[in-house]
Chains A and B, each alone.
Chain A
């Protein structure tokens, strides 16, 4: 019950329970059961609570409960109609058992573990399904989002920011998608930090399947997986819109690292603006299709421009978690290649051109730099300097 009393509706729910002779436990069960109904989202749920005072009362009212509400889907009406005679306890227990089998817990507003950051949302998700350490929700969080079809640039920026945030003790929030999301989670876990992945799918069907090992690493690293989709629900289309809202909600700031026009990341950006979270965007070259969404956010003054990781951390109000500068002895060609890369990322071919060195020398220099963790091609053709390379002070 702690950390719940932020709105009159919730206070109403707590007060109404005992008055109607329903025990606390069954109010929670009715709550969970009610949130399971198809067509009842956070908005409808909140309205029901306001009207009836408690989930248990709304449940008892059954079909009639909806009749007064505006904009109720036929789906919801049918679902409510079928409730008559059903035991909310059984429904709630079933989903709680399924969630436990998926190594998670069901968490409602009524529970202490409900993420405090989401309490500021209106409407807010009535029920969440969470795996991992809920302590992750009590620390400062920053979301990093971006396109699934990320370029090496997008991946390198996401990695660098996530790494820096994790070292500063900030929880990196993202959506576990391919591309930028995955890179952000991975970097946070690799830096020994906590990360929160907000899923568009139930806990027992982690989407995308390719990131299931990553999801396990996030939990093992003290982070958490969270979703609004009930465990054991029929697996339908992943619900990205509701996920994006939670991503923004869990974070105090949202950083869009790379997003073309019409990217899903822009929806998260819009959600961040709508619920009053700080929005940052990483600029891209003016010709880069993959960064057009980001550039537009900046041009339209919806987002603050990110000029460097250090500047971003300062703006968020964090000192840079700088490590000691790497000490590396580099040959002349290696130093030259790294210097060019620090000016601008590029492929081997470009570096051959920019350094005017033979391909053989540039190729072997890049391998050495990669082995020392100073550059990273992120699986593609373009090499990017890493944070370690940027913090090098000796002679490059």
Chain B
């Protein structure tokens, strides 16, 4: 007899609906799984067999063939266990399969028949909906995560027995209330408040502009001037995610197995700060079972590379793709996979290994060659992709000491207003404005283009640099609420451009 159950598999950070077909026929007893199943899927044979037996069912001593369709899609993970077990029960006549057509079954089976959580439940339930399911049974721990998806009744279950009783109509499983996205709340616990940063007015201003338009920002300076503190404060300035963005972000976290199970969907913009010893794979994603890297975990948020020049050169280079295109591309024999990774880059570094190069009144003790090799770690293409670059200098004036620094909340509200203007006008942050959008409809007059060209000539800027500055100018205008970009906005944007190292 033949039975079909609905399940789903994770590819990259997306779910794909999978139909689990089981045929029980005469022949040598055995259980075969086909359909490009990975080793974790193949091991389902043993888990399913034990789980069925220990839940009071019988494993038919006949030839059982399991096909995971589409059969040309490589499948990984343990989330198909439940669907396989139930389909075997239906195919062998131990369970009525009437409800199977509209119910997706997701979960890993323990040998005693209980259900274990799986990573990526969000993406899996979303895929099941796309595959036509109106109900989804998921492991209890994955319940809130699955319930974040609209248009499907998500029913958490603790064991195979509960699932079969539900499907038989004996003891229905309760459907969960849809999970509401978690509001971003106040400051993230680990984000320093700008109220604790004395002085550094220019760096604060640059930080405000960068977070408002999602521009890439770099702080350089000698040790102890507050580069890292300021960069970390960005976490408290980023505006909350909208619902579409939140769905994208939570799906990535779900696949990475990093979901906060109580609040699976958060409106807080991600802020990731990997250590400089991070491997290239951990930074951009990959590995034998493809996992999203830090770049994808920072999707729609910020990626802080503290001590950027200490990162491995190949790791930094691997970030060029996502900085330009917003996706990490992983090429495999089976095909090319794209993981979303549209983040704002925050970089901090010392100007040279000893930290004092170019600081007036100080002498750098680095040997020339060593300093040049160090500075060369920030490759030209990476330098080109920085929108704002602020050299920080030590020393705080008496005036700055006397002034009370503005707290993060005040800055964050200006950033939020500027972001709302961008969303209404173009739907994307200014950093993502395509060259074709640098027109009158977006507040760029002929006069501004003329000024940009003359500044580029006067200051010897490349076209790419000029365009990046133009987008920063748009953000500066948005912070003011100005509909059109004015010359002073462009001039201010240009003052934060990365400068060539001293000759």
Residues of A at under 8 Å CB distance from B?
148-153, 155, 178-179, 182-183, 186, 260, 285, 287-290, 345, 347-350, 352-353, 356, 358-368, 370-373, 377-382
**Chain B contacts of A362 at CB under 8 A?**
202
A367 close to B361 (CB less than 8 A)? no
Residue of B nearest to A284 (CB): B361
A153 contacts B399, CB within 8 Å? no
A149-B368, A349-B199, A379-B503 known; 15 new pairs, CB 8 Å cut-off, are: A151-B360, A152-B502, A182-B503, A288-B362, A289-B361, A358-B205, A362-B202, A363-B491, A364-B490, A367-B455, A371-B455, A371-B458, A380-B502, A381-B360, A381-B393
Contact indicator B399/A380 (Cβ below 8 Å):
no
Min Cβ gap B397→A in Å is 4
- The verdict on B501 contacting chain A, using a C-beta distance below 8 Å, is yes
Interface residues of B in 137-155 (CB under 8 A from A): none
In the bound complex, how far is the Cα of B490 from the Cα of A365, in angstroms? 11
Q: Is the CB of A178 within 8 A of B368?
A: yes
B contact residues around A150 at 8 Å (CB): 502
How many Å lie between the Cα of A287 and that of B455 in the bound state?
36
Quick check: B202 and A359 within 8 Å, CB to CB? yes
A69 to B476, CA, bound (A): 76
Contact check, B459 vs A370: say whether CB atoms are below 8 A apart.
yes
Name the contact of A186 in the complex, choosing from B359, B364, B455, B503 (C-beta under 8 A): B503
CB of B492 closer than 8 Å to a CB of A = yes
Q: Are A183 and B202 in contact (CB under 8 A)?
A: no
Given A363-B496, A379-B500, A379-B503, A352–B202 Cβ distance below 8 Å? yes
Contact (Cβ within 8 A) B492 A367: yes
A155 to B476, CA, bound (A): 32
Residues of B within 8 A of A (CB): 199-205, 357-364, 368, 391-393, 397, 399-400, 454-455, 458-459, 476, 487-492, 494-496, 499-503
Q: How far is the CA of A359 from the CA of B399 in the complex (A)?
A: 14
Of the candidates B391, B490, B494, B495, the one having the most CB atoms from chain A within 10 angstroms of its own CB is B495
Residues of B within 8 Å of A379, CB to CB, are 358, 499-503
User: Is there contact, CB below 8 Å, between B500 and A356?
Assistant: no
Contacting pair B368 A363 (CB below 8 A): no
**For residue A364, which residues in chain B have a CB less than 8 angstroms away from its CB?**
487-492, 495
| Chain A residues closer than 8 Å to B495, beta-carbon distance | 348, 363-364, 366-367
Q: Which residue of B lies closest to A359 (CB)?
A: B205
9 of the cross-chain contacts (CB-CB < 8 Å) are A285-B361, A349-B199, A349-B392, A356-B399, A362-B202, A367-B492, A367-B495, A377-B499, A380-B502
Residues on the A chain within 8 Å of B487, using CB: 364
Q: Chain A residues with Cβ under 8 A from B205's Cβ?
A: 358-360, 363
Contact of B363 among A149, A153, A382 (CB under 8 A): A149
Q: Are A371 and B459 in contact (CB under 8 A)?
A: yes
User: B360, A152: Cβ atoms under 8 Å?
Assistant: yes
Report the minimal beta-carbon distance from A142 to chain B, rounded to whole angstroms: 20
Contact partner of A348 (CB less than 8 A), chosen from B202, B458, B476, B491, is: B202
* Bound form: Cα–Cα A290–B362 in Å: 6
The complex places the Cα of A332 from the Cα of B406 at a distance, in Å, of 26
The residues of A that contact B361 with a CB separation of less than 8 Å are 151, 285, 287-290
CB–CB A347/B391 < 8 A: yes
A145 CB → nearest B CB, Å: 15
Q: Are B459 and A381 in contact (CB under 8 A)?
A: no
Residues of B within 8 A of A371 (CB): 454-455, 458-459, 491
Write the chain A residue with the least CB distance to B494.
Answer: A367
A130 to chain B minimum Cβ distance, whole angstroms, is 25
Point out the residues of chain A lying under 8 angstroms from B397, CB to CB.
350, 353
Set of chain B residues within 8 Å of A359, measured between Cβ atoms: 201-202, 204-205
**Alpha-carbon separation in the docked complex, A369 to B500 (Å):** 18
Chain B residues contacting A289 (CB-CB under 8 Å) are 361-363
Cα A379 to Cα B497 with chains together (Å):
11
Contact between B360 and A382 (Cβ–Cβ < 8 Å)?
yes
**Distance in angstroms between the alpha carbons of A290 and B360 in the assembled complex:** 8
Q: Nearest 9 CB-CB pairs, A to B? A: A364-B491, A381-B391, A289-B363, A363-B495, A364-B492, A367-B491, A359-B205, A371-B458, A379-B502
- Considering only CB atoms, which chain B residue lies closest to A366 in the complex? B495
Most chain-B Cβ atoms within 10 A of its Cβ — which of A150, A345, A363, A377? A363
Interchain CB contact under 8 A, B399 and A353? yes
Is there contact, CB below 8 Å, between A347 and B491?
A: no
Please give me the residue from chain A that is nearest to B469 by CB atom.
A367
Tell me the complex Cα distance, A153–B361, Å. Answer: 9
Contact A349 B200 (CB under 8 A): yes
Closest CB-CB distance, A257 to chain B, in whole Å?
14
- Measured in the bound complex, the distance between the Cα atoms of B333 and A86 in whole Å is 66
In Å, the complex CA distance between A183 and B199 comes to 33
B201 neighbours in A (Cβ, 8 Å): 349, 352-353, 358-359
Q: Is the CB of B368 within 8 A of A148?
A: yes
B424 to chain A, nearest CB (A): 23
Question: In the complex, are the beta carbons of A155 and B502 less than 8 A apart?
Answer: yes
Compute how far the CA of A179 lies from the CA of B204 in the bound complex, rounded to whole angstroms: 31
Closest to B352 in A: A149
Judge whether A152 and B358 touch: CB under 8 Å. Answer: yes
Q: Across the two chains, which residue of chain A brings its CB closest to B500?
A: A379
Contact at B358–A380, with CB atoms within 8 Å? yes
- In the complex, A290→B356 CA distance in Å? 11
Closest to B372 in A: A210
- Tell me the bound Cα distance from A148 to B502 in angstroms: 10
Q: Separation in Å of the A359 CB from the closest CB of chain B?
A: 4
Residues of chain A contacted by B459 (CB below 8 angstroms):
370-371
Most buried by A among B201, B400, B489: B201
Q: Is the CB of B391 within 8 A of A380?
A: yes
B500: chain A residues at CB < 8 Å are 379
Q: In the complex, which of the residues A182, A260, A358, A381 contacts B358, with contact meaning CB atoms closer than 8 Å?
A: A381
B415 to chain A, nearest CB (A): 15
Q: B391 CB to closest chain A CB, in angstroms? A: 4
CB distance from A302 to the nearest CB of B (A): 21
A183 touching B503, Cβ below 8 Å: yes
Give chain A residues whose Cβ lies under 8 Å from the Cβ of B199: 349
B364, A149: Cβ atoms closer than 8 Å: yes
CB distance A360 to B476 under 8 Å? yes
Cα distance, A377 to B498, chains bound together (Å): 12
CA distance A179 to B492 in the complex (A): 28
Q: Chain B residues near A360: list those with CB within 8 A.
A: 205, 476, 488, 492
Residues on the A chain within 8 Å of B400, using CB = 353
Most chain B beta-carbon neighbours within 10 Å: one of A178, A186, A370, A380: A380
Residues of chain B with a CB closer than 8 A to A370's CB: 459
Instruction: Closest A residue to B480 by CB, please name it.
Output: A360
In the bound complex, what is the Cα–Cα distance between A363 and B472 (angstroms)?
A: 13
Chain B's closest residue to A150 (CB) is B502
CB distance from B398 to the nearest CB of A (A): 9
Please name all residues of chain B whose beta carbon is closer than 8 Å to the beta carbon of A186 when the two chains form the complex: 503
Nearest B-chain residue to A177, judged by Cβ: B368
Measured CB to CB, the closest approach of chain B to A119, in angstroms, equals 34
Tell me, in angstroms, the Cα distance from A345 to B400 when the chains sit together: 19
Residues of A within 8 A of B492 (CB): 360, 363-364, 367
- Please state if A149 and B202 are interface contacts (CB–CB under 8 Å): no
